[in-house]
Chain A
């Protein structure tokens, strides 16, 4: 066995990055009591819009900016369905995901039928040649800024107080003079931006190209991670690392001769199985946020 531990670790950090961006985005939204199943579509949108703008302008920075904007728009759309209209959150989210993926696929096929465009300039890794630390800047930001920052905001700022109050008891928030829909919209917009960055990371940093199966269920993994983490930031980061570690492991095993006979599909399923096992073990008897899935109405 020639497992390269350092390579494994490096791959784990890269694979975990989009999960942390989107996972934190989902966590922020769910802390207000809204389940955003639009996450898969929002990541897809971010990946596509980021790629398209970077391709057309030649600047991955503009691409990232556009991805952020698209994520905010996706958040507003979800807000329109689930907050303003008070529709069922499951249906709204799934509908949004289907819509966004379909629109992106359609546009991509219209523009580049049969082609396989790639970016001339994508984001480079920092510290090239240094094992494990040769990561993209968005990875560094995810671990060093996004995760601790969102943890701190939730814990010790007025914005965090509002978010938690709305998610736990919107009646209480309402009486305290907090705008329930305002907080939910804000969270959906910020969370949507994070999700879109998670998607754009794949096109702008890792691949430099766009494929139709680019997100491949990563959004759904984030939904599971957030529940597994019981809506806390650090456990969500740990969950993302577990998933990413399993994924990195199966990628290495797939090129290890000793595992040549194991069906490729089984290997690919490994990280998802890990999520299911983790949820089965730690996801039971979860206490959901008090206003989870509820629409807020006032006479």
Chain B
């Protein structure tokens, strides 16, 4: 155990780089998770790493902890290069980590868990171990009975045990991967107090988050990761939340990648201070919009809620999509998007509220009834909606089997003709007999689009329609959705890609923790404002 460092000892050490990552690159197949990322954490310094989901934060943290090996780049501890082949090496080098999914063994006690990586093979002196665990907890101001089974602890308590565990093997740099994602506000308070103690003790802390407000509160320095690249490294004192949101979401920086669309408000919004944005948000309540100016709603959600047990995953969702309108749902994933799409698709029951399509109540309708009523959907997981081993032609008729069967037999000629027509019309680069598994992501999405659009749905719900697609397919999907809107259907687009939403939608609603925290006409939906709403900073209800 490291003794409590006296202030006089700690001061000269402060600021010296404890952990450095230099030029770290990691690829998974075609995906570049980290691209030439460099980063350092000094003694007595709290560095916050910001980034959207999928920006590569977790991969980078896993590299720093020896769980993932980088393809290129170097790690240095105290200025000396180190090779981290496993978490054991990382621990030896003085690096500790609290992972996003806690790494505790539920069937073992707190002290057994804490000692796990510190004991030898022989007898464990339970009493001595207990004393050491207690001492470590005291140092952190944590009070948990060491003999309790981890299974009986709350989430906040488990996290504290994780930190105690990391400190138990003398770590000098502590990595916290999205530590507040699962905590209650009270637990976040006590976590921040713990982090402050660690800083005073001269530890380096790397704090991964996508919540701007927390970052501003706890860190000395902020680094921002976007699409695997480091796009910013600033002292916290010198940046404001709006600027961070812009960096994180790729506001001005991503203009080249953005498709043509109503995204002209960017320049004005960058200059918008946070306060101004909040003020604007209050003015534009969804109810304040001129209702009669809106087109007739084809999809109406009223006070929709989903809960499992006591936990509410979605609550009070009220939203309309008009005929000839595209409405976007923005939000960081895990804030209720999956549940919303599932409820609309009819694969998860709503626990409250109603779903109306063109005035018809479909709240309790089964999937087939929904399809027949003109409610189409493209789910987030392409492979989940297709049968990969089956051919393109069979996948194309999967939702429409009665039309192609007579007396239980599939009319193979009709299926083939149907497929050939759709392949032609939707420019699918495949033969009818090809297994869907052999298609590219873009062509898979075209198969799904074709299957949904050929039914001419009155409402189409799409989730992450362009995730992982190349530029060409991206534009194609957008064209098709826009064309569907122009034919008078309503489209609800759930996406994490703000550029996509701003290029495609007429209105954007933001989901945060299962609630709609605001709804903006596209002209007012700058990346900055959406970013603030997505991270719960700005609430405009």
Contacts and interface: CB of A to CB of B under 8 A. Distances in A.
B106 to A, nearest CB: 7
B99 A168 contact: no
Contacts of B69: 299
Contact of B106 (A169, A174, A176, A178): A169
Contacts of B86: 174, 177, 179
A159 B97 CA distance: 23
B123 interface: yes
Nearest to B101: A171
A165 B116 contact: yes
A176 B108 CA distance: 14
B120 interface: yes
Interface in A232-285: none
B68 to A, nearest CB: 5
Contacts of B112: 161
A298 interface: yes
Contact of A299 (B65, B68, B104): B68
A162 interface: yes
Contact of B108 (A157, A161, A174, A177): A161
Contacts of B90: 177
B65 to A, nearest CB: 8
A158 interface: yes
Nearest to B62: A299
Contacts of A169: 103-106
B117 interface: yes
Contacts of A157: 121-124
A156 B109 CA distance: 12
A176 B116 contact: yes
A163 to B, nearest CB: 10
Contacts of B104: 169, 172
Contacts of A177: 86-88, 90-91, 117
B87 A176 contact: yes
A173 interface: yes
A299 B90 CA distance: 16
Contacts of A156: 123-124, 126
Interface in B266-314: none
Nearest to A298: B67
Contacts of B68: 298-299
A178 B124 contact: no
Given A177-B86, A177-B88, A177-B117, A165 B123 contact: no
Given A168-B106, A172-B104, A162 B116 contact: yes
B105 A159 contact: no
Contacts of B123: 156-158
B67 A174 contact: yes
B117 A178 contact: yes
A176 B124 contact: no
Most chain-B CB neighbours within 10 Å: which of A164, A174, A175, A178? A175
A173 to B, nearest CB: 7
B119 interface: yes
B67 A299 contact: yes
A158 B67 contact: no
B115 interface: yes
Nearest to B123: A157
Nearest to A169: B105
Interface residues of B, number: 34
Interface string A18-37: 00000000000000000000
Contacts of B119: 158, 161
Contacts of B126: 156
Contact of B117 (A164, A176, A290, A299): A176
Interface string B155-187: 000000000010000000000000000000000
A178 B116 contact: yes
Given A165-B116, A177-B88, A178-B116, A158 B124 contact: yes
Contacts of A158: 115, 119-124
B103 A171 contact: yes
Interface in A125-183: 156-159, 161-162, 164-165, 168-169, 171-179
A84 B132 CA distance: 36
B107 interface: yes
Interface string B109-141: 000110111011111101000000000000000
A298 B90 CA distance: 16
Interface string B23-37: 000001000000000
A168 B105 contact: yes
Contacts of B91: 177
B106 A175 contact: no
A165 B68 CA distance: 21
Contacts of A299: 28, 62, 67-69
Contacts of A290: 105-107
B174 to A, nearest CB: 13
A299 B65 CA distance: 13
Contacts of B107: 164, 168, 290
A229 B12 CA distance: 58
Interface in A81-124: none
Contacts of A173: 105, 116
B103 A172 contact: yes
A159 B115 contact: no
A19 B65 CA distance: 43
A150 to B, nearest CB: 14
Contact of A175 (B87, B115, B124): B87
A156 B117 CA distance: 15
A164 B121 contact: no
Nearest to A158: B119
Interface in B207-229: none
Interface string B429-456: 0000000000000000000000000000
Contacts of B106: 168-169, 290
Nearest to B96: A175
B159 to A, nearest CB: 14
Interface in A176-203: 176-179
Interface in B402-416: none
A159 B116 CA distance: 10
Contacts of B113: 172
A171 B102 CA distance: 9
A158 B114 CA distance: 12
Given A158-B119, A177-B86, A177-B91, A164 B67 contact: no
In the A-B complex, list the 6 residue pairs whose CB atoms are closest, starting with the nearest: A177-B88, A158-B119, A176-B117, A175-B103, A172-B103, A159-B121
Interface of A: 156-159, 161-162, 164-165, 168-169, 171-179, 290, 298-299
29 contacts: A156-B123, A157-B123, A157-B124, A158-B119, A158-B120, A158-B121, A158-B123, A158-B124, A161-B116, A161-B124, A162-B116, A162-B121, A164-B105, A168-B105, A168-B107, A168-B108, A172-B105, A174-B103, A175-B65, A175-B67, A175-B97, A175-B99, A176-B116, A177-B87, A178-B88, A290-B105, A290-B106, A298-B67, A299-B67
Given A158-B123, A298-B68, 9 more contacts: A156-B124, A157-B121, A164-B107, A169-B103, A169-B106, A174-B103, A176-B165, A177-B87, A290-B107
Interface of B: 28, 62, 65, 67-69, 86-88, 90-91, 97, 99, 101-108, 112-113, 115-117, 119-124, 126, 165
